Structure 1
Amino acid sequence: MDKAANTPVRLGMLTPSSNTVLEPTTAALLAAAPDGADDVSVHVSRFRVTEIALSENALGQFDDGGMLRAAELLADARVDVIAWNGTSAGWLGYERDERLCERITAATGIPACTTVLAYREIFQRTGARRIGLVTPYLTDVQDRIRANWTEAGFACPAERHLGRRDNFSFAQVSEDTVASLVREVAAEGCDAVAVVCTNMRGALAAAGLEAELGLPIYDSVAVTLWKCLATVGLDPSRWRDLGRVFDLPAAFGADPARAR
């Protein structure tokens, strides 16, 4: 997939069908680059997800089959990376996303990444061990995320969640509410705050909160965009004014042969 240096880069993203935050937020982040972002475009494929819970039906929404079909449609657009821009591996386990990435690349020949695996990489590389966790999820979902992350070495001693199940409703939580939850977990002490949900409004407030609180604020939409940029070898620091995540070096996940 070698591309000439002046060839536009196409980022492919998989998103839940009921998500209304991811696309406009990603577009806003890209557009905020001081030198513009005409060399980068985002292309999205959806699969059916309407609720987040631990019931059999809810868990079944994240079957690899539907996600792979959506990824194969993205491959028709000749995207340079395919990201699962969602957080289901938070409660299903990292191995689910590891397998998904393998299957996407095997089926399409395109590098794959995910939100949750990007979080793990960031925490490992930055040494963050106490994570303030903010989500819109139900208590049992939140508890599962905390257990999985703690087992991986990232304790979540400070957390807030909103007890919501309907995925569409997550987007109706205001940016001000998200910011208040971030402040609450930061006050309890942590190395970083993670706003975990790609249908929640945290990305565009992150830089201001970081300046206020003196902590990195890692929003899921921004984390996924960072990983996509790093994977294709683009320099994320073009977007450093939007949050500390974009100051992390592309070498975290880049193919050096494609760096530009």
Structure 2
Amino acid sequence: MNIRGFSSNMYGWTERWKRDGKTPEWDELFRACADSGLDAVEIDADTEKLKLARSYGLAISASYIGLPLHVPFNTLDVERSILPFAERLAAAEGSDLLLNADPINWKNVVSKSEDHFKQQGENLSRISELVTPMGLKVCLHNHAADNHNATGDLRSVVQYADTSVGLCVDTGWAFVSGCNPIEWVNTYPDRINAFHLRNQHGGMPTEDLLEGDIDFSSLMASAASAHYNGWLALELWHPDCIQPFRSMGEDVQRSINYLRSFTS
């Protein structure tokens, strides 16, 4: 599998820093990312963070935006909510604009209707039309923890969106929702444009990719069969419900070395 390299979402890093009683400062975070063997990070590529990341040899792979994609397009205010982020990502030579379909209510999640999922597909298509000329790929990131909304979000792309819209398969959230991320890759190989990689013991995140219920050997074999050639992005997460034995940097390094055994 000819991948672009190894990247990481930064949420897990900042949360682990807070858990360890440290203030998450970008200089220290990027240094730790580089030391762990990462090639890139996922950030909003503003001037200051971009310069700092590059000073540690890190590229920018993607930017992540959460949006209420189920609402009419004209209420999304894309001129403010999306295009500035996309322009910064394109200028940083990033490739993946990762959009999260936010729930109707984060604190008390509501089941979306099929019309909501259709609206999400329409909005994703229109956003893709705007940013494709910048050299960016729009990917829907699955974040729903329940099966109804997770499978509906999937249909937003594979049934209701233009073929230019792809999937960012978050393995952890897919598994928690009762879906099989390996089946997604096997069933929709042409739509797999990005990954967020995390393993799980049931609903609980594991410390690194080596342990857990998700068969990463099969996942990587499926990605290779799909001729995946994008970034492999980690999203390790150490919430208070688990007791990690190692630092985030050590767990990222272990996970990268593990993935290399499937990509080399």
* More helix per residue: 1
TM-score by length of 2: 0.36
When normalised by structure 1's length, the TM-score is 0.36
